[in-house]
Structure 1
């Protein structure tokens, strides 16, 4: 079991930006009829999603979210020492989007910036990276972005992915604070043998984009894809998700001697309501302590946990101390679980692009 403890760092604030465009799953043309749409909505828990307009990227949403949290925290952009950008739908293959954001945001030239191309577990992995950078005090203020524009490489004619994924950008602001007595505790895991459970075959160096790869093909009725589109092998994902995340959370609870009765919130990656309920029940956390936002936003991969925090538990996070657990799992296959505390932070109102 891979463990990590990070001290002397606290969450100072959070913000999120979503596209203004709303897609209702009930009205998607990929379903045969309304009854089929309702069946999918009932099993996934996803009723609608936010989707970007053509030409909008995750970095565009990010700029809006970052400006909002800096304003609400009364931070100057010149005070930010590091920025970690968790995203798989980056602007270009090269350079890394974090470099472009340095310029767009006006970050200092000596600011530490880095892309972290992780999916559904990315927010927790991102905290492990930015927390490690900041825990010694060299960096005083940092920003962790978890953003994704999933709709861009999910084919709108593929009923296995279209009703599931939405777009969003979130930013979590961190401060060095040697007096903050609560550490971030982690466990991590990866199983690369399952990399084809959620993957995009073409567009990288193993399978470069070809003319044929961008031609749509009907796989079966209701499933049309290009080689550059994301593929989700549902049965493989389901088998992984109902087994591995519960085990990861139990490892976390045992390793750090956590009393689950004292937990205020368990934040799960918003994959699928049925899967998440299986995970919740496995660790015996009451349903009222496990917030969901997937009904309104769908699966926004690395942004799903912070988006849930911003849209569902902002009042509690702003006004009291909260003892929390989180678990992210998916693309890789990779997963991570975390124990953390949130103490009277700033949570910005959700903004639209």
Structure 2
């Protein structure tokens, strides 16, 4: 049973970043001209942000965003107790991205650091993990920074028509705080599931040039998503006795428009409750939920007293959903990272 509850924590800030370089699917030479508009309609993706400098490492993208988050929240570096990075872009096998980022940020030695190797569901898994770590710390107050995201273009073969028009590069950082007193606004309810038999829906293999590339089985991804994601969300709401009508906003992992619309319709969720960031940013892997939150940040205040649903699903095949009250003090649309 994958149902969990965490208490006494809240999301205080959400900051995301994307590369300056943009690819436009409507002028992508890889795709025949007559197929480009149907592709954009089908996937919902026109623009994608792509890193040009392949020598950069993921921690170099996280670093300026963490600095920005701390500045906007007015958090001193000495107040950070936990740093967790969710990524599939480890530049080197060891040490962890979190340890390398710890050095770049010049954090205190007592900070709890490690990585989570996860993709599309990684943001929600990371949120659960951070909450559990914070709850185990002594004292009433503690702070964590959760970093998530991938430079998916590092895993993309330029001639792959299934992968390249879909995936985009982005990273997000989230500030999470432990509260001294529990109230309804600090409760988060999770349903975390894994369907390992779907692990080959998205996988990596070594290409002819000896580089590692991401591969997709599109039909499998669609079938697993439509079959299992609605069940995961319905199970979550039913287990914790939350009425679907009391959920104001639903942030799904931005897989592609066909998959997301099939999930939305199967759940009978109104289209106005399910924001998208696909058109301008593509599928941004584990950063896609916080990126979308930033895109529609002005709607969060209107929804602050209602439940918000976050649901990540994909590589693994892994699904992670959470219901929470979401109204961060700091929240921005994605910044253009000049690296």
- Where on the TM-score scale, by shorter chain, does this alignment land: which range? over 0.9
| Alignment partner of 2:252 out of 261, 265, 268 | 268
Aligned to 1:158: 160
Aligned to 2:262: 278
The 1:281–1:133 alpha-carbon spacing in structure 2 relative to 1, beyond 3 Å, is: same
Unmatched segments (≥5 aa) in structure 2: none
- Segment drifting more, 62-71 vs 175-184: 175-184
Q: Distance in 2 between matches of 1:238 and 1:60?
A: 33
Q: C-alpha displacement at 1:172, in angstroms?
A: 0.9
Q: Distance in 2 between matches of 1:45 and 1:214?
A: 31
TM-score by length of 2: 0.94
User: SS of 2:242's equivalent?
Assistant: coil
Aligned to 1:223: none
| Alignment partner of 1:190 out of 173, 176, 194 | 194
Structure 2 residue 332 is the aligned partner of structure 1 residue 333: no
Matched positions, count: 331
The 1:42–1:348 alpha-carbon spacing in structure 2 relative to 1, beyond 3 Å, is: closer
Asked if structure 1 preserves the Cα contact closer than 8 Å seen for 2:291 and 2:333, the reply is: no
Aligned to 1:103: 103
Aligned to 1:77: 77
Asked if structure 1 preserves the Cα contact closer than 8 Å seen for 2:58 and 2:97, the reply is: no
Q: Deviations 1:183-242 (Å, cap 9, x if unpaired)?
A: 11011111212212111134xxxxxxxxxx442xxxxxxxxxx66111111111111111
User: SS of 1:244's equivalent?
Assistant: helix
Asked if structure 2 preserves the Cα contact closer than 8 Å seen for 1:318 and 1:345, the reply is: no
TM-score by length of 1: 0.90
Structure 2 residue 204 is the aligned partner of structure 1 residue 200: yes
Aligned to 1:145: 147
Aligned to 2:15: 15
Q: Distance in 2 between matches of 1:284 and 1:135?
A: 35
Runs of 4+ in 1 over 6 A off after TM superposition: none
Q: Distance in 2 between matches of 1:151 and 1:344?
A: 30
Unmatched segments (≥5 aa) in structure 1: 203-212, 216-225
